[in-house]
């Protein structure tokens, strides 16, 4: 892979170091842990359906706090489906439902009476295609989630949070002079960083990313990867990727999903530390996939 480009290092150098987030995660941190302890996710016997179609079967895994967990596997094995079930975006598809448990720090997000809207405020998401709101300015895009969460937020405070989120996404220096311009006027890589700023501005506990770099060129990809390494100081990150080098570079844990025959549901084959998965995986299927021998 190429080295980080000059502009990426520039952005790193000129952006101020991250400040502590506003969220309540900071106050509940144990004494010796870093200031920002994010939350863990525990999936238990998760079965995911699209109407009559059983898309993912029997997934149990632990997603550790302040770590990057990569989900890999061939196309159609249910990575996106699993990811979207972690913040209850899955059920937006007509007829789609989930059976099993997903616990955010021990609390089942699928428990009866749990509001999916509240879940999504805690577990943010970045999509494959950058999707800033086209009618909103750059500033308003970043502020969008805050205006939902805390309606009566004051302008100076909002300015501060927007700046911090944009700095955190390594975008501040590029856009600080045109915050009132539409977000759709940015390049693809800038738009994706804007989307990351938008998702992180509300200080979620977990950040889900579905192939966030697949629409980007290698330089923008490296920029996002270095950003991910920083973001895990504050968030738990789950990232879907088709790029083996990216999984190896950017993640701490890797989960391999596979689908045995077409029509079968996708299953979790194994999850382990990324190093282990890429050096001595337990399953031959994992070995075959990461070394490029499919089937």
Ligand X SMILES: Nc1ncnc2c1ncn2[C@@H]1O[C@H](COP(=O)(O)OP(=O)(O)OP(=O)(O)O)[C@@H](O)[C@H]1O
Point out which residues bind Mg ion (CB under 5 A).
80
The residue among 245 and 275 lying less far from ligand X, judged by its C-beta, is 245
The residue (of 2 and 75) whose beta carbon lies closer to ligand X is 75
Q: How far is CA 80 from the centre of its chain?
A: 11
- The CB-of-168 to Mg ion minimum distance in angstroms stands at 26
Among 70-78, 103-111, 172-180, 219-227, the segment contacting ligand X (CB under 6 A): 70-78
In the complex, least distance from residue 131 CB atom to another protein, rounded to whole angstroms? 4
**Which residues, 127 to 146, sit near another protein by CB under 8 A?**
127, 129, 131-136, 144-145
Does residue number 55 form part of the binding site for ligand X (CB under 6 A)?
yes
Bridge partners for 44 per DSSP: 101
How many residues in the shown chain lie near ligand X by CB under 6 A?
Answer: 12
**What is the rounded (10 degree) CA torsion for 126, 78, 66, 150?**
40
Whether residue 209 contacts residue 126, with contact meaning beta carbons closer than 8 Å, is answered with yes
**Minimum CB distance to Mg ion smaller for 140 or for 211:** 211
Smallest distance, Å, CB 3 to another protein? 30
Residue 162 and residue 169: Cα distance in Å, rounded? 11
CB of 92 to another protein, least distance (A): 7
Starting from the edge strand earliest in sequence, which strands make up the sheet with 107-108, in order? 53-63, 41-50, 96-104, 107-108
Nearest to 196 by CA among 217, 155, 225: 225
Which residue, 66 or 258, has its beta carbon nearer to ligand X?
A: 258
Q: If binding is defined by CB under 8 A, does position 125 make contact with another protein?
A: yes
Nearest distance from residue 32's CB to another protein, in Å?
31
Contact flag: residue 69 with ligand X (CB under 6 A): no
For the chain, how many helices (H) and strands (E)? 11, 10
Output phi, psi for 46, to 5 deg. Answer: -85, 125
Between 34 and 76, whose beta carbon lies closer to ligand X? Answer: 76
Q: From residue 200, how far is each of 145, 175, 265 by CA, in Å?
A: 9, 17, 32
Query: Which one of ligand X, Mg ion, another protein, none is in contact with 97 (Cβ closer than 5 to 8 A by kind)?
Result: none
Could you tell me the smallest distance in angstroms from the CB atom of residue 219 to Mg ion? 23
**Binding flag, residue 197, another protein (CB under 8 A):** no
CB of 115 to another protein, least distance (A): 9
Long-range interactions of 162-167: CB distance < 8 A, separation 24+ = 162/201, 164/18, 164/19, 164/201, 165/197, 165/198, 165/200, 165/201, 166/138, 166/142, 166/194, 166/197, 167/15, 167/16, 167/18
**Residue 92 Cα distances to 81, 115, 116, 234, angstroms:** 11, 13, 10, 28
**Which entry of another protein, Mg ion, ligand X, none binds 245, CB below 5 to 8 A by partner kind?**
none
Considering only 78-86, 107-115, 145-153, 277-285, which stretch makes contact with ligand X by CB under 6 A?
78-86
Residue 145, contacted partner among another protein, ligand X, Mg ion, none, CB below 5-8 A by kind: another protein
């Amino acid at each position: 892979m190429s080295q980080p480009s000059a502009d990426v290092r520039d952005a790193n150098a000129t952006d101020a170091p991250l400040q502590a987030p506003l969220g309540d995660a900071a106050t509940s941190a144990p004494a010796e842990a870093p200031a920002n302890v994010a939350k863990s996710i525990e999936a238990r016997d998760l079965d995911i359906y699209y109407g009559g179609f059983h898309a993912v079967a029997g997934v149990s895994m632990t997603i550790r706090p302040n770590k990057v967990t990569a989900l890999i596997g061939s196309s159609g094995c249910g990575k996106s489906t699993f990811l979207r079930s972690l913040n209850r975006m899955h059920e937006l598809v007509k007829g789609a439902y989930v059976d099993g448990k997903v616990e955010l720090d021990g609390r089942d997000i699928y428990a009866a009476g749990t509001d999916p809207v509240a879940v999504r405020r805690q577990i943010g998401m970045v999509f494959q295609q950058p999707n800033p709101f086209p009618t909103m300015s750059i500033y308003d895009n970043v502020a969008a989630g805050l205006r939902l969460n805390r309606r009566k937020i004051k302008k100076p405070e909002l300015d501060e949070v927007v700046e911090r989120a944009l700095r955190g996404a390594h975008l501040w220096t590029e856009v600080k002079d045109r915050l009132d311009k539409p977000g759709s006027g940015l390049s693809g890589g800038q738009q994706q960083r804007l989307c990351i700023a938008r998702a992180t501005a509300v200080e979620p506990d977990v950040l889900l990313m579905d192939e966030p770099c697949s629409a980007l060129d290698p330089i923008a990809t490296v920029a996002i990867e270095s950003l991910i390494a920083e973001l895990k100081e504050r968030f738990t990150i789950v990232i879907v990727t088709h790029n083996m080098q990216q999984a190896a570079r950017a993640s701490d844990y890797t989960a391999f999903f596979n689908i045995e025959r077409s029509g079968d549901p996708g299953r979790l084959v194994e999850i382990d530390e990324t190093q282990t998965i890429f050096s001595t995986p337990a399953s031959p299927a994992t070995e075959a996939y990461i070394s490029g021998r499919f089937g």
